[in-house]
Amino acid sequence: MLDPNQLLVIIGIAAVPVLFAITLHEVAHGWAAKMLGDRTAEMLGRLSLNPIKHIDPMGTVVVPLGLLLMTGGSWFFGWAKPVPVAGRNLRNPRRDMVLVAAAGPASNFAQAAFWTLLAAFVLLGVFGTGGLAQFLIRVAEVGIFFNVLLGVFNLIPIPPLDGGRVLSGLVPLSASRMLDAVEPYGFIIVIALAVLGPLWWFLRPVITMVEAFFFRLGGLA
């Protein structure tokens, strides 16, 4: 169990990369939808980079803090309020929904690349070798880890996760309707798989492999 001081240190390191990871993930969905004809997110003010507009009390605050406390700071997860997308407004609803759904995980992998680049600059001595450099390295490590986790997790092919919506747009219409029928129960299925273990048996090696790629690229491993 973390003591309050340790928790504050972890929050100080993780706050920026985590808030941007979940905020830009949702903004990417809204931005892609706008480019493809649906301005719902824009009209509701959800294309903002202000994290407050995207905070979900449970997913952005309660769950991450709870996991930090329960795991001693070794693992945590979270999410933001989903950006609304009106598929009927898209120019080619079935095709475009694939692109809108894929935009979220793509933003996370792009952010992982950004934190990798920052780590490389820090290790080159651009920010010196003192406390600031050490702090930035830890922030970059969290940024890479959390964005890879969020990106890979959201690619699980179970709706309403992004991977499920991508798959729904790629398979024949009959299979797509079956996936759409699963969507109301998707989170229950994901939670059950996570609790029982199979989800992490599959995800952990993928997350580790992708994270290791970015760590090597940035000189962190």
Catalytic residues, by residue number, are: 26
* Dihedral sign for Cα atoms in the order 192, 194, 198, 203: positive
Beta strands in 69-167 (DSSP E): none
d(C-alpha 141, C-alpha 118), whole Å: 10
Contact in structure between 150 and 106 (CB atoms under 8 Å)? no
d(C-alpha 7, C-alpha 130), whole Å: 23
Query: In sequence order, which residues have a C-beta less than 8 Å from that of residue 114 and are 6 or more positions away?
Result: 143
- In 3D space, the residue among 170, 16, 204 whose CA is nearest the CA of residue 101 turns out to be 170
Q: What are phi and psi of 87, to 5 degrees?
A: -55, -30
